[in-house]
Each structure stands twice: as C-alpha cells, then as structure tokens.
Structure 1
Amino acid sequence: MSPKLRRASAGASPDVSADVRRRPGAVPPAGQARLRPVSLVMAAALLAATLLAGVLVGAAGLPVGGVLKALADRLPFVHVDSGLGVIDENVLFQLRVPRALMAALVGGMLAMAGAGYQGVFRNPLADPYLLGAAAGAGVGATMVIVLMPGDPGYAVPLAAFVGAISGVFLAYVLGSTAGRASGAATLVLAGVAVSSFLASVQTFLQQFKAEELQRIFSWLLGGVGSADWRQLALIAPYSLVSTVVLLAHGRLLDVLSVGDDEAASLGLSAARVRLTVLVAASLATACAVAVSGLIGFVGIVVPHIVRRLAGGSYRIVLPLSLLGGAAFLGMADLVARTVVEPAELPLGVVTAFVGGPFFVAVLRSSRREVEI
C-alpha cells in the first residue's frame, strides 16, 4: 500500500500531494478529517432554532408562550397547560409542525444527496438532479395531474417518487451500456439525455389539459405548504435508509478521492462503492422531490459551505450537510411564507434566488478543479 493511501485510509494526511489536495472531495489535512463535536453541536443548534422559528412564525399569530407550552406538553412525562384553543392547537400541530419538519427533512435529504453525488463524480457542481431524478419526478407528477380529475391526493407524491427513481434507473442503464471504460462522464451525459427526453414527455403531457398548467407549474416550482403527518410517514423509512447508507460511506468516499487504483490495492471496489452511493443519494432525492416538487441549489450550496467551514472529508461533509441542509431549507421556507404575506412565494424561487449567484461563485472558484 502506498504511504499516500495509508494516510488517507487512516483519516489524516498532512503530506497529501498537491494534485490530490486540489481535487474536489480530496482527503483533507490532519485536524480536519474528524467531525468535531463543536461543529455538530452548532449545526444541531442552528437546526433547532430554525425549527422553532418555523412553528412560531405564521399568519395565525399564535402566542409564543402558548406554543412553547404546547410543544413541551408533547414531551414524555411532561404535562403543561398551554392555554391554546382547539383551533390554535390544530394550526400548530396539523399545519406548522409538519411543515417545519418537512422543510427540514427535504433540505437534509437534498444537501446530503448533493454531497454524495459530488463525492462520486469528484465535482463540486454535481447536484441531486444530475441523473434525471427531477425530470422523472416531473413526468410522474404531471401524468397524475393531467390524467386524474379533481384532487389526486397522495397519487402525486407517489407518482413523483416512482418517476424520480425511474429517471435515475434509465440514466444508469444507458450509461452502463458504454461498457467498463464509460466512467463518470458517460453517466453524466446519460443523465442529460434522459432528462431532455423526459422533459419533452412532460411538455407533451401538458398539452392534453392546458387548464391544469397552473397546478403543474406550482408543483414544479416546489414547496412544502401541503405537508402533513401522512406525507412525513410516507417518506420517513426511505429517508432513514438513504441517510444510514450515505453516512456509512463517508470514509470510503475519502479513500476513493485519492484514486481508484490505490483504492483497489486495498481491495476496495470503487465501482461498487459508487453504485451504492448513487442509489442511496438517488433514493434521498426521490423522497424529497416526491413531497416538495423541484427545489434547486440546496445540494450545491450547503455541501460547499460545509467544506469551506469544516473541511473536505466526507465524514464531515455528509452529516453536517444533513443538518445544514435541513436548517437552510427551513429558513428558506420562512422567507417564502413571510416576505409577501399573506401570499407565499414558491420555495424553489427562494432557493434559486440564493443559489443562482452562489452557483456562479462556486463555478468561478473551482473552474480549474472541475473534472467530469
């Protein structure tokens, strides 16, 4: 085993060569390769503050003391009289709490999936929609809205979930047909081709019911305003599985960043690790898209901020992206529902407003490092 890989597998490499260190997702120097408790506590505190703001702020004007007491009353072995009426309690626990939790869950899944994709492709500009998940979800949701009159209920998120998974599967199958030498570039091109094809299918479906265009575009622009406990329960198991798998592969992504050949000398199958991470990241993306529509830039903005603040090891980037993405989208949702009160901005518009300029900044700073 080479000294470089031995240091990478140990999680500390103060003498990593300059060419490896410049590579996006490369193993960081010593002192940055472990998740520091203070970073985890700060990220968790930011998320907790965002969740609390999400349940306190709203058009109904619930008393802060009553909300805090009502939340405390739901804790085990705690009994507090909140003083809230039945209507106020319904607003709190049937509208605000599920919405805040949904924004956090969707943001965490998108950010962690983005970090996983960036580790697989060694590209800081890779995002959760790279392999056709967004286009597939759009086709699934559009098909239900067009073909099912009235309120389709939970058929839209289910169809979006199936469509997202199908889009990624098609891209992977298409990319795999190029053979062993295809690499990440072919897979990305396959994702672009599948996305273009599915976008044309979606446009074709929209022509059947022009009167439903507003509902379709409302879904495509993203939002968590319709979140409820059943939707949370619907995606929670898949979110948990993808989270566990991605967090468990943080060290392996660090090893892969040194190089496939040296990773293979350890008996590590780079192809198997990449496939596992891709599947888990795509599952996380599908869960998020199914209940929120298309919300862009979260998977680029949050992992990049984490790398700048805490280091580039994926043992750091993945868990902090999970917490940071949850907090980021929670804050974006607060902006979306308060900046033009009593109306709401689509959540995807808010994230694009922040993420667009940020994407340009990332592109400029990494233009010499990006390799696909």
Structure 2
Amino acid sequence: MSVRIDIAELRPERVTVVPSPLAELGMALHALSEPGHHPGLQGWATGLAARLEPHLADRMCEADFLWRTTFSDLFLPYAAVPGALPAGTLAAELDQLDKLTDEQFVDAALEFACVLTYSTQAPALLSDPPGRRRALEAAASRGPQQARFARRLLDDPPGVRAWLRRFLEDCAAAFFDDAWSRLRPQLEADARHKTELLRRKGLAEALAAVSPAVTLDGTGARITVDKLTDGHARVAADGLLLVPTSLGRPHLMVLHRYGWQPVLHYPVGPPELAPPASVEELTLRMAALSHPVRMRLCRHLARSAYTTGELAQMHGLSAPEVSRHLGVLKKAGLVTTRRRGRYVLHQLDVTVVARLGSDFLEGMLR
C-alpha cells in the first residue's frame, strides 16, 4: 500500500519547501490530544495541559476530532488555492483559511466522518440532501459530539468558520506564539537545506532527505510514499508543496484531496534517529514471528548463535525444516548468519527485534 503522486507535468521550479505556522499549530493540538503518539513531547504536552485555562481546554475538546483521529486539511488551506503557498504568519494563513468556499470548508472539516471520497470529486453536501443524510449518519456513528458538530457545520458553515478562527487565535495567544518562536528557526533551516538539495542534486535527493519512506521512481514521473493506505494524486501546474513539521514526528502525511495541490507534510527530527522500517519490512517481520516454531527458534537464537543441526536436535525437527524457518526469519531481517570454519551460525538480531514495537507504531502513524 502507498500514496502515489504523478509528477510527469511538474517543473522543478514548482517544488517549494516552506514552513507553515497553521500546520504546526494543528500538530501542537494533535500532540496535546494524543501525547502517546509523540513520546518526546509528553513532558511538554503534560505541562501545557496543566497550565491551560479550563475554558480553552473545554473548547479544545469540542472539535478535537479535527486534529486527533485525523489531521484535517483545514490546517493546510493554501493547498486549495491554485499556486498559493503558506503565508508565513498565522494571521495570514487564517486569512487563507477564510478564503475557502463553504463547500471546501465543509468537505475538509467532515473528513473525520470518513463519508467522503478523498481522491475523487465528492458530492456537494450543502446542496445534496442524500449526501447530507449520509454525512450526519456517519458522524453519529462516531459519537454524539461529532454528530452535533456535523449538524452545526452543515447548518451554519460561516458560524463554525468564525468559531474555529477564534479558537485558533486564542490557542496562539495562550501557548503557540511562544512555541512557534522557538520552532520556526529549525523549520526554516530545514526548508533552506531541502531547497538547496533540490537546486544542487535534484528532486530524488531532496525526497530521500525528507524521509526514507518517500521515493521517486526511475523515470522521475511518480513519487511513492510508503504508507498503510492507498491514495493517488496528480501534480499539474500548481506544483508540489513540502511542509516541514517539528511537532509532527512520527507522522508523515500526504494531502492528496481531489482538486487540491498535493502536500507532503514531513517530520523534521534529529539525524541520529534510525530510519523507519517500510510497510513491506514490517509485514514480513510480523508474519515471520507469527509461527510458533519460529518463535521457539528465536528464543534460543536470542541467547546465542546456533547451527542448523543444533537447532534441529534441540527442537526435534529435521534440518530441512529448520532451514526453511530460518530462511523466513532471514528474509525478514530478523536473523543474521556468520561462518565459523565449516559451520554456519545463526543468531537473532536483537536490535531489530527491540525496535519492532516502535517501528510498528511508526508504521501505523506515518
């Protein structure tokens, strides 16, 4: 599974790397709502949550499904305007959000209900009674709070837009302006670095620096983002936006909404962090460990290195059976081999196994 972006028509100068304060505010709200997704931010999130005024905390819960279970495209509003870029200040980007049509705003806000097709043209819910009914039913299945918000949104889009802008402005005054002043230099430095890579070495090198999960095919006509979802977008004259985030790690998000400019919203992290495992690697490793015989083999291989014959004798299996199971573990990258004289020794790669939990979580959240 992956998200694919066709870029055959993309001109190199139409790839832009630029930070977005509105997108970063969205990630700040997400980190506050789901601190378990961001272990490195748990101290910040806990301390901030304790300092928040109760009234603002209550308002944060009123529509947290816009940034908790999903990351609404409302935080990337410039993507809906052909050729537009992040404006660089929160006030200016909130002005860009105000320029969305009511239909665009409603479609993006109702993403949490999973009722709209994302990569193809959606029905106009404000003028389509059957679509409106489906949206309300889908929102109701998510809970009463979502149902109330969806009805309010469909009945009064301007009122919800005004509520959301006031809420985001109050969040900025309460905590985000201070956070952005600290985060902005890092994000601007990363944007300059990626822009220089684009200029000197090309798009493939720049995308590789964005994330190992983002690749450019050999023809230079398609970008593939390794994610546990399927999606497709095409870059036309509008170009491709790369937006770095500091608070968003480990999420690597791809905006590929129909009719909007594609955006890669990618995490900026310390260079010493190991690259994430691909979806294919995760699948192989989880499948390899799902067999009880291989689990028992791993118990011994975690403690020491053994030959195939030794493992066969310990487990009452034939050497060919053990070889087949070892082959599955080696293909998944869980077992290493080395030769000692005429013997081949196998051992569990405990570093890889130790990362399985974090790799699995990062793969789910990417």
TM-score range, shorter chain: under 0.3
| Structure of larger gyration radius | 2
Structure with a larger share of its residues in strand: 2
Q: Highest relative contact order (Cα 8 Å, sep 6+), 1 or 2?
A: 1
Normalization by structure 1: what TM-score? 0.23
Structure with a larger share of its residues in helix: 1
